[in-house]
Structures are given as C-alpha cells and as structure tokens.
Chains A and B, each alone.
Chain A
Amino acid sequence: DIQMTQSPSSLSASVGDRVTITCQASQDISNYLNWYQQKPGKAPKLLIYDASNLQTGVPSRFSGSGSGTDFTFTISSLQPEDIATYYCQQYDIVPLAFGQGTRLEIK
C-alpha cells in the first residue's frame, strides 16, 4: 500500500503570508495527487486535482505542484477564510490513501 506523509501537521501563519504544505508518497504516483480543504464540521472540498489543476471555482491563490513522490500545496496570500485542515490524497493505486492532514491556523 502507498503511504502519504504530509508536513507539517499544524501550521500558524498571518493573513497575507505565503503558506506551503508538502506531501510525500512512499512510491512514485506520477501526478495522481489531489488536495482537499476541510473546515470544522464540514465535508472536505476539492481544491487541486492531478497535482496542479485548480478545481473550478477555487480561488487562484491556491496552487499545487510536483510529480513522482514529492508534492507541494501553496496558498499565495493567506486569507481568514482559509482556516481549515488540508489533506493530500493519492489515487494511483487502490487502496486510495490520504495524508494525515495539516491544520492551518491564523497567527
């Protein structure tokens, strides 16, 4: 099974900051990597698919990059409404796997 290691597990940043989260796969997953945002008490929301494609309707301050085993998720200018937990997810091989999540807080 593929393991997804996300870091950091929590992050505190100020409004306007650039925020970066990394996700590492235990083996090559090409670009079969997605990023989701989950706010407390809500279902996850797709932000980025296939490593770097922005889902329709998602603000352009969100972006993703990477391929193979190493991936990065970036918020270019943190907004108050971005407070949430972020998850990466691989879908190269079943069983699908999520990273353990990164909890983002405002400083």
Chain B
Amino acid sequence: QVQLVESGGGVVQPGRSLRLSCAASGFILSNYGMHWVRQAPGKGLEWVAVISYDGSNKFYADSMRGRFTISRDNSKNTLYLQMNSLRAEDTAVYYCARALGVTYVFDIWGQGTMVTVSS
C-alpha cells in the first residue's frame, strides 16, 4: 500500500547534525512534491520545507533556512532532511508528507520520527 516511513531520529546535542530519511513505497516518488512538517511536544504543526518532484525547487520555513537542507533520491524512492546546527527548539516529531497533485495539499503522511536536541 501507499506508505511513507521516516527514520533517523534520536537524541543529539545542541550544535550537532542529524539526517532524517523518508522511504516511500506503493507509489513512484518522482511523481510527487514532498514536504517535511514538524510538531514540538504538545504543540501544533509547523511546516519545515518542500522539494519539487525533480528536486529542482526547494523552499524552507524562515527559522530553518540555512540550517536545514531537503533533498531526494528518486532512484531510491527516498526523501531526506539534513539538519545542522541543531537547537533545543528543534526538538519535535518530524513527519514527511506527500503533496497531492501539483498542490501543497498533504494527502499521505509518514508516522513521524522523534528528534530530541539536548545536552
């Protein structure tokens, strides 16, 4: 079935880096734009970044621009989020989400992976 599975979360010290992965199955990743969305503990949803179907266009939320990099490997059906210079406020569950058609409507979500930034 159509599925997204995130991995790579964990506990990391402030200032360090972490790379998240999102493996797609049941559909061809290269046909879809993809997003990362995060949710701090007990808080609401926050959009992180988007990458176009072919990787040619990327956009970021202001607070992540310059520290986070979204990328994809369509040959591996996998989306990535490289997170550098991590801060305590980056602690959250990170979800990858598929964009419906050519819109920014999130029709399929992964189960999320928890990132904790703490010394």
Residues on A lying within 8 angstroms of B by beta carbon are 1, 32, 34, 36, 38, 42-46, 49-50, 55, 87, 89, 91, 94-101
Contact = CB atoms under 8 A, between A and B. Distances in A.
Contact of B103 (A42, A91, A99): A91
Contact of A43 (B60, B62, B95): B95
A49 B103 contact: yes
Contact of A87 (B44, B60, B103, B109): B44
B107 A94 contact: no
Interface string B41-57: 00011110010000000
B38 to A, nearest CB: 11
Contact of A34 (B61, B106, B112): B106
B109 A44 contact: yes
A95 B107 contact: no
Q: Is the interface of A mostly helix, strand, loop or mixed?
A: loop
Interface residues of B, number: 22
A50 B60 CA distance: 22
Interface string B14-40: 000000000000000000000101000
B105 A46 contact: yes
A96 B104 contact: yes
Contacts of A46: 100, 105-107
Across the A-B interface, the 3 shortest Cβ-Cβ residue pairs: A91-B104, A43-B109, A96-B47
A36 B108 CA distance: 11
B119 to A, nearest CB: 27
29 contacts: A32-B103, A32-B104, A34-B105, A36-B45, A43-B95, A43-B111, A43-B112, A44-B45, A46-B100, A46-B105, A46-B106, A49-B105, A49-B107, A50-B103, A50-B105, A89-B47, A89-B106, A91-B103, A91-B104, A91-B105, A94-B59, A95-B47, A95-B59, A95-B61, A96-B47, A96-B50, A98-B44, A100-B44, A101-B44
